[in-house]
Structure 1
Amino acid sequence: MGLKEIVDNNSYPIVFIGSGISKRYLEESDSWEELLQRYWKKLKISTPFYSEMHDLTKKYSDLSDEDIGFNVNTEIATIIKEKFDNGFYNGDIHVAGLTDKMAYQQNISPFKFDLCNHFKKAHLKSNIDKDELNQFGILLSKAKIIVTTNYDSLIETELHHKNGQSPKTYIGQSGFFDETDNWSELYKIHGSLTDPSSLIITKEDYEEYDKQSILISAKILSSMISSPIVFLGYSLTDRNVRKLLSDFSSQLPREDTRKTANRILVVEYKKGHKELTESIENDHSLNFTYTSIKTDNYTDLYKQFNRIDEGATPLEVRKYNSLIKRLVEDSGRKGEIESVLVSVENLDKIDDQINQGKHIVVALGDKKYIYVYPDLLSYIKDYFLNTNNYLPAVALSFAAHQGDRKTKVPFAKYWNSVDLDTLKLKDDELFKLENKIRCYPNLDSIINSVGRYDRKKFNSLDEIFKVFPLGTPKCISVITYNLKRIPKTELSDYVINTALDGFENAVKENTSLKTFYRKLFVGYDLLVNGDFAQQKKLKATRVTELDGKAVKGLPTD
């Protein structure tokens, strides 16, 4: 059904995020009705809040339940804005950071400015499920496009925490007319706390917004050819989500209902429900078919989505897309392009080099014939699978730059089998490798570093698996302790067919299992390819040369 199809199709999703997500993670996060009630009480309006709601409900009694709720809320918001703004100018209401002169000259609504102040105070709940929040951040980083009706900054904060960078953000209607990359973009369609005038909340605001809402649908539909859409934090009675679904329905081609359902997935919160209950629903009023998932188990839900991996994150695609585009457009137009091969390590420097007027273009081609620079996961997999996607010079350069001199990464296979002079490594890279080797343990010290509670002797992996669950920290540690006792053929099969997959999952989910697998890999590498001691003697001449001079930018220890 929908979720499996989406994951199997391995295409980054477009994610819509509503107020239910903010309520799940942020302290004192209100629903629309709760927010309006908060301000109604703040203004001390004589008519009771729910009495006013009741009267307005009767006014719209001929509409559907969803439209009644929407119209009542927008009218209440309109009343609040008028009374709040008047109270501000009359001197009865104070708004932090806003003067009457500033409000008048810049045409700022004091009510909306105060709303922004309110949302700026939002913070994570003290009892938040950290694993779930971590998985949520991973999902955000894998979203091709994020569209939200929330004003708060939860999405930006979690994306920055996960990536160290932010997506391209568009507020209100901005961006829908622009030529964009359609990668790692955030659309805050109802406004943002960073811009009070952008907030959509009153009846008049929504009337203006609805005139342009088809632009949102057109933008998303253009990306739907290859990308699924996921709705999080919305109720299907929410007028906003129904309006969006209605717009999609009117524009989508007529097709098999199952195919349509696999395009759009709506996650509905069901308190205490730990299963991911999935069904195909048909909303006759919208003439629309979609997949519904009811759950309170968002950790497992996110983990399913996070299995999607197109190789590079949307943020990386957007970043390097724009850099390459600049190279071609700016330098190509002048006929001044010079071709060079660059590593991923150097891609981060391209922007500065363009600004300095240097003539560069990135060469693309078969990965085996281009100077490809790995990340840790791709390096480890290539190292033990012997796929040889990286030249020895690249592999050793990567090992040299991994952390500090005490950071351990397998590289004995390359160090012990190649002539360093033929590789022409940079002096600083060779220096770093020698420093690593000086701090590197031998196989016995790796084995003896295993905690005393995991020092249990076994002669085969089958014996270990009967006692310790596969893929647990204790199981991995016990295997590390018995590296010299277990047959190498068994270890090789385990590393290639089990441990590498476990390490990949640990890296993607950012769990502590990474540390246990890394120690195992280092020990297995030394078992198969030998310690570094003998090889250090063979390369003593080059080492002595390096020890005798300070390498630029490095200490001489």
Structure 2
Amino acid sequence: MLKEIWTELNDKTEMEYKFFVRKVEHEIGQDIANLEPDEKKYNLNPSLASQIRNQFNDRFYSDQNFILKIFHDDEVKLIIENGYDPFKFYISKKVNVLKIKDDKLTYEEMNCLKDNQNKIAGIITTNYDSILEQIFPDFDVLMGNESLLIANTDNLFNIYKIHGSNKEPNTIVITKEDYEYFIGKLKYLSAKLLTLFVEHPIIFIGYSISDVNIRSILEEITFCLSNEQLSSLKNKFLFIKPAFGEKDSINTREIIFNNKKIIMNEITINNYMDFYTELSKINSSMPVRVIRKMQDMFCNFIATTEATNNIFVGNLSNPNISDDKVGVYFGPLETVSSIGFKTYSLNDIMEDILFDNKPYLVNLSIIDETFKNIRSISGQTYLPIYKYLSKLGLTTDYLPDNFKIIKSISGIDLNRTEKEYCKDKPQFNSIKEILECFPKHHAKQLANIQKNYDKIPLNELSQFLKEKFYDGDYRRKMESQYRKIVALYDYRKYS
């Protein structure tokens, strides 16, 4: 970008730009030719930016033709009225046009990341652009070094833009003077980051272990911790880097600062989708917006001790109250008045059937109220009810006649489209056989799984359903068929 702006300023050739770069190298008095690429960039680019900024701003305030060439009238007005640095405003303008290309094949990765944003506590970036805001629209954005220093570390789902943002041009860190100010605050920044590192694993994506910004922060952290404390953080640092055609691998890397060792894991992968799929398995089901709302409500209540119209408080002052007598409900207020606290969604039930992680669902109200409510809302859905009948010692005779359930090993009749997908196809005895036969066609996969569900090993069926459970994009497209397979799995395992 610096090369592009310098060329626009001077209308010069590429060779003349290279001469300018060498001239700046000479002026800063360092022979940086033998440095590592990251170190060379870190030492040289800020000095280049400082000189280009000075030239750019001088032209802005003295050359009307230059202004007309670079900016529109409304942009000039914004610069003048808001006191923006013209050079940084121009950088903001350039990066503001960056968007995610959703026609790319790799956009599937972005969809997966978007669907699992509630698994990520926060993001720290040195990028100026707004790409992360596009991926994580419900996150709050804190811009500049100061924003991180004053932020409440209890707050989840923030994007910390420590080198500034195109939305606030003056926060951008790019010149030598900007970096000197940034480094002056580095001790405070590192101490603040340390509180985040202790609470959460830190995943570095898009950064090299040799990146000077990263190494500077890690070096400052070593000043704060003993060797024993640093050792306890070794599983907290994960560097994800592209394999570029090489084999996927996981390696342990060590960096030594001040005679202290930081140990981290470096994961090399060809397909980032593999990493995001693993991320999706973290059990955190609520959307970011809901979690933020809950957090704000409870923080306000704890700070003020005042109940509001969306927090109802019973008698919590009794010192003898036991843990099992305290309950919290999150959801629409009207739900409480209409059906009380004994209802769960079909998604909750499917999750419990697959992961066996909601023991509190096993009670009569799950059948008498929850399944009854699901039946009234989704009348054509096969109810995965056999786990709860089995655990409660009941038979299907207990169920109302209008409950739609699987009644025999023959399963669920295929509809016309599903029959066409299975037409002239062999009998399948494993999930692997089906996926190999239909590698790209999800609907055909599920239709043939449904037809052959009683022949597929139960553990394979379970693993397949678990892998797809947290895949939001897949579920949106295939929800109806997916629910049927879960019901078939429930019948086969528990009936």
Does the alignment reach a TM-score above 0.5? yes
Residue in 1 that maps onto 2:86 = 110
1:87 equivalent in structure 2:
59
State the secondary structure of the residue aligned to 1:193. Answer: coil
Structure 1 distance, partners of 2:483, 2:267, is 37
Q: CA deviation at 1:464?
A: 5.8
Task: Provide the C-alpha distance between the structure 2 equivalents of 1:419 and 1:294, rounded to a whole number of angstroms.
Answer: 52
Partner of 1:294: 268
> Are residues 178 and 525 of structure 1, via their aligned partners in 2, closer, same or farther at CA, if it must alter by over 3 Å?
closer
- Equivalent in 423, 426, 446 of residue 413 of structure 2: 446
- Asked if the contact 1:381–1:500 (Cα under 8 Å) also holds between the matched residues in 2, the reply is no
Higher relative contact order (CA 8 A, sep 6+): 1
Query: 3-state SS of the aligned residue for 2:414?
Result: helix
Task: Find the counterpart in structure 2 of residue 167 from structure 1.
Answer: 139
CA displacement at 1:411 relative to structure 2: 6.2
Deviations 1:214-235 (A, max 9, x none): 3332222113234221211113
TM-score by length of 2: 0.74
Q: Give the whole-Å Cα distance in 1 for the aligned partners of 2:449 and 2:41.
A: 61
- Structure 1 partner of 2:306: 332
- Give the match for residue 555 of structure 1: none
Match in the other structure for 1:149: 126
| 1:399 pairs with 2:374 | yes
SS state at 1:380 partner: helix
% of aligned pairs identical? Answer: 22
Aligned-partner Cα distance in 2 for 1:256–1:529: 48
Number of the residue aligned with 1:19: none
- Whether the 8 Å CA contact 1:40–1:80 is kept in 2: the answer is yes
- After superposition, what is the alpha-carbon deviation per residue over 1:499-536, rounded to whole angstroms, capped at 9, x for unaligned? 44432321212325654332234467789999xxxxxx
Query: C-alpha displacement at 1:43, in angstroms?
Result: 1.0
1:540 counterpart residue number: none
> Matches of 1:37 and 1:212 in 2, distance apart?
29
Contact between 2:431 and 2:460, CA under 8 Å: does it hold in 1? no
Asked if structure 2 preserves the Cα contact closer than 8 Å seen for 1:506 and 1:513, the reply is no
1:73 offset after TM fit, Å?
0.7
- Give the counterpart letter for 2:53 in structure 1: K
Change (3 A) 1:466 1:273: closer
Distance 1:471 1:250 in 2: 57
Following superposition, the deviation at residue 158 of structure 1 comes to: 1.1
The one-letter amino acid of 2:314's match is S
**Cα drift, residue 299 of structure 1:** 2.2
Amino acid at match of 2:22: H
Give the 3 Å change call, closer, same or farther, for CA 50–268 of structure 1 in structure 2. Answer: farther
Kept in 2, the 8 Å contact 1:246–1:288? The answer is no
SS of residue in 2 equivalent to 1:243? helix
Alignment-derived partner of residue 221 in structure 2: 248
C-alpha distance in structure 2 between counterparts of 1:129 and 1:201, whole Å: 30
- Partner residue, 2:483: 518
Deviation at 1:42, TM superposition (A): 1.4
Match of 1:506 in 2: 468
Q: Which residue does 1:554 correspond to in 2?
A: none
2:149 is paired with a residue of what secondary structure?
coil
C-alpha deviation, 1:202, in angstroms: 1.2
- Please name the residue that 2:451 is paired with: 481
Q: Secondary structure of 2:123's partner?
A: strand
Q: Structure 1 residue 307 and structure 2 residue 281: aligned?
A: yes
Q: Which runs of 4+ in 1 moved over 6 A?
A: 347-350, 411-420, 456-459, 524-530
TM-score (norm 1): 0.66
Amino acid at match of 1:107: G
Shift of 1:183: 1.5
CA contact (8 A) 1:273 1:297 kept: no
More displaced, 301-310 or 85-94? Answer: 301-310
- Counterpart selection for 2:50 from 69, 78, 90: 78
Alignment CA distance shift 1:528-1:277 (3 Å): closer
Tell me how far apart the structure 2 counterparts of residues 191 and 380 of structure 1 sit (CA, whole Å).
Answer: 44
Q: How does 1:6-21 map to 2 (within 5 A)?
A: none
Q: 2:25 aligns with which of 28, 46, 57?
A: 57
User: Retained in 2: the 8 A contact 1:245–1:288?
Assistant: no
- Aligned match of 1:389: 361
Q: Secondary structure at the match of 2:207?
A: coil
Distance 1:60 1:119, change over 3 A: same
Aligned to 1:211: 184
- Which stretch shows the higher mean deviation, 290-299 or 190-199? 290-299
List per-residue Cα deviations over 1:456-495 (Å, max 9, x = no partner). 7999x8x566964699855653353367xx5xxx89x83x
Q: Verify the 8 A CA contact 1:270 1:294 in the aligned structure 2.
A: yes
> What is aligned with 2:248?
275
Matched, 1:189 2:165: no
Conserved? CA contact 1:456–1:478, under 8 Å: no
**Aligned residues of 2:84 and 2:169 also touching (Cα < 8 A):** yes
Q: Does 1:346 align with 2:312?
A: no
Contact 1:84 1:111 in 2 (8 A): yes
- Give the superposed CA RMSD: 4.3
Do 2:222 and 2:230's aligned partners in 1 also have CA atoms closer than 8 Å? no
Query: What displacement does 1:178 show?
Result: 3.7
Residues 83-104 of structure 1: CA deviation (Å, up to 9, x unaligned): 2222222212232364555423
CA distance 1:509–1:60, shift in 2 (3 Å): farther
Identify if the C-alpha distance between structure 1 residues 80 and 180 changes in structure 2 by more than 3 Å, giving closer, same or farther: same
CA change 1:286–1:77 in 2 (3 A) is farther
Which of 319, 323, 334 lines up with 2:293 in the alignment? 319
- Give the whole-Å Cα distance in 2 for the aligned partners of 1:194 and 1:42: 23
> Structure 1 residues 175, 398: closer, same or farther in 2, change over 3 A?
farther
Tell me, in whole angstroms, the C-alpha distance in 1 between the residues paired with 2:151 and 2:229. Answer: 33
Gaps of 5+ in 1: 1-34, 161-165, 351-359, 361-369, 421-432, 438-442, 531-557
| Structure 2 match to 1:37 | 3
Cα 1:261/1:411, change in 2 over 3 Å? closer
Larger mean Cα displacement after TM superposition, 240-249 or 138-147: 138-147
* SS of corresponding position for 2:95: helix
